[in-house]
Amino acid sequence: MDNQNFFSTPMLLTNIGAPFLLGIAVGYFAKKMLRTALFLGGGIVVLLFVAEYYGVVHITDTELLNATDVATEAAKSSGDFLLERLSRFTVKGVSATGGFALGFKMG
């Protein structure tokens, strides 16, 4: 491959710039959604504790820990899916994955 073609602006924007920006957008969105899910999940747990206090429901620690494990696995699998999908944009997925990491940190 000719060095002039490899370092041209269109080539760099297409292979490095665009996947990096896409990775930033996805990482930022993923962090915001994770925070929202944690906020809502925490609210649900507090409401369950209040309902348990008033005798409406009965929750065991084992059930609560099991629900937490299921939620953790779901979050991990969705994060793995996003990173795997972003890594397909470039040969090694470095720019998109790096953009995801930066976007996640910014979010």
Domain boundaries defined on the chain? 11-106
Among 1-10, 16-25, 28-37, 94-103, which range has the highest average pLDDT? 28-37
CA atoms within 13 A of residue 4's CA, in its CB half-sphere:
0
What was the pLDDT predicted at 11? 55
2 pLDDT band (50/70/90 cuts)?
very low
What is the spatial distance between Cα 30 and Cα 35, in angstroms, rounded to a whole number?
9
Quote the tokens at residue 34: 């994770």
| pLDDT per residue as tens digits for the range 17-69 | 778 888 889 889 989 998 998 999 899 999 999 999 999 999 899 998 998 89
- Answer yes or no: pTM beyond 0.75: no
Quickly tell me which residue has 């890594």 as its tokens: 87
